[in-house]
Amino acid sequence: MAKMQRNKFICPFTAGKLPRWKCPNCENPSLIYLEVESLESTNSISFRKELYKRHSSEWYPDMIRWYGTFIGVLKCKICLGQVAISGYKKIDWDYEKYSPIETLTPTYFNPPIHIFDINGEVPNSVRTEIVNAFKLYWLDQDACANKIRRVVEAIMDDKVVIEKHRLDQRIKEFEKTNSEKIANLEKIVKYLHANRVIGNDGSHHGKPLTKEIVLDGFELLMSVINDLYGKDNLEQIAERYYSQKA
């Protein structure tokens, strides 16, 4: 199983060096950023220069600090599909290179960038919930964590685990009814419970969750999805039936 490349999903990114995110249409890592518009805020370079000149005859590099928003398009070099992108933009001073440095912090992609690959065996009901979680990752980590919990619920629905009042009860029932049917079941159950807790923290935690915590949830979820719906698991299922052949 491929490991998640977390550095592609931790902001901010240096302008001109955005990660090669995978195209959500053709799944090739071939998206190129094309800026459409930058919207300057009141904390712009010119504003800060003017403000400082009112109090001093000198001006120094630390005054270069520009905040604003950006709107752009990611275009796929392979299928030519496009992804809208927007977020916050900042220009600060790089003291090592003694020059301005521009960074981008995306908060929105449409269609959403996939944090991990979703294979073709994943049912649409589960896939939809995963993509909904991807949508929220950049903007609201608490809401995203809650959506990851919703993916766990969708998996329980797909596995026809009877409805109960609490998700932890459904996971226990899933473990009980599949003890001899699913490989790596102990690991899968542990990861499902972990994502249940991460989702609960998104709803009730005292402070906002970090992107690192949410990526922990996605990495656990990726493993569960590959174990339950991946090709390896399908081969195990086929082998079980084949061994019963008369």
Please list, in sequence order, all residues whose beta carbon lies within 8 angstroms of the beta carbon of residue 187, skipping any fewer than 6 positions away.
223, 227
pLDDT, average across residues 58-77:
72
Tens-digit pLDDT profile for residues 134-174: 999 999 999 999 999 999 999 999 998 887 779 999 999 99
Residue 118 domain-assigned (yes or no)? no
Q: Tell me the C-alpha distance between 113 and 123, whole Å.
A: 19
Strand 31-40 with 13-14, pairing = unpaired
Given pLDDT bands bounded at 50, 70 and 90, which one contains residue 229? very high
- Phi, psi (rounded to 5 degrees) for 143: -65, -35
Domain final position from 110, 139, 163 = 110
Most confident of 13-22, 79-88, 237-246: 79-88
Q: Are residues 145 and 83 part of one domain?
A: no
Residue 117 domain-assigned (yes or no)? no
pLDDT (0 to 100) of residue 51: 45
Domain final position from 88, 110, 132 = 110
Q: Are residues 217 and 158 part of one domain?
A: yes
| Total domains, the chain | 2
Q: Are residues 221 and 136 part of one domain?
A: yes
Work out the burial of residue 179: count CB atoms within 10 Å of its CB; fewer than 13 is exposed, 13-18 middle, 19 or more buried: exposed
pLDDT (0 to 100) of residue 54: 46
Work out the burial of residue 113: count CB atoms within 10 Å of its CB; fewer than 13 is exposed, 13-18 middle, 19 or more buried: buried
Q: Are residues 87 and 50 part of one domain?
A: yes
Residue 1 domain-assigned (yes or no)? no
Q: Are residues 66 and 24 part of one domain?
A: yes
Residue 115 domain-assigned (yes or no)? no
Q: Are 94 and 100 spatial neighbours (Cβ–Cβ below 8 Å)? A: yes
User: What H or E segment, with its residue span, contains residue 106?
Assistant: strand 99-110
Residue 99 domain-assigned (yes or no)? yes
Q: Are residues 130 and 235 part of one domain?
A: yes
Residue 33 domain-assigned (yes or no)? yes
Q: Are residues 132 and 239 part of one domain?
A: yes
Average pLDDT in the chain: 83
The encoded tokens of residue 13 equal 């990114």
Q: Are residues 44 and 10 part of one domain?
A: yes
Q: Are residues 204 and 137 part of one domain?
A: yes
pLDDT (0 to 100) of residue 2: 62
User: What H or E segment, with its residue span, contains residue 223?
Assistant: helix 211-229
Name 69's bridge partners.
39, 88
Domain final position from 56, 83, 110 = 110
Given pLDDT bands bounded at 50, 70 and 90, which one contains residue 47? very low
In the chain, % of residues over pLDDT 70: 79
Q: Are residues 142 and 53 part of one domain?
A: no
For the cut 50, the answer to whether the pLDDT of residue 188 exceeds it is yes
Please list, residue by residue across 5-38, b when 16 or more beta carbons sit within 10 angstroms of its beta carbon and e when fewer do: eeeebeeebebeebeebbbbeeeeebbebeeeee
Residue 119 domain-assigned (yes or no)? no
Tens-digit pLDDT profile for residues 14-30: 877 888 899 999 999 98
Provide the domain limits for residue 84.
6-110
Q: Tell me the C-alpha distance between 61 and 11, whole Å.
A: 24
Q: Are residues 205 and 150 part of one domain?
A: yes
Q: Are residues 171 and 67 part of one domain?
A: no
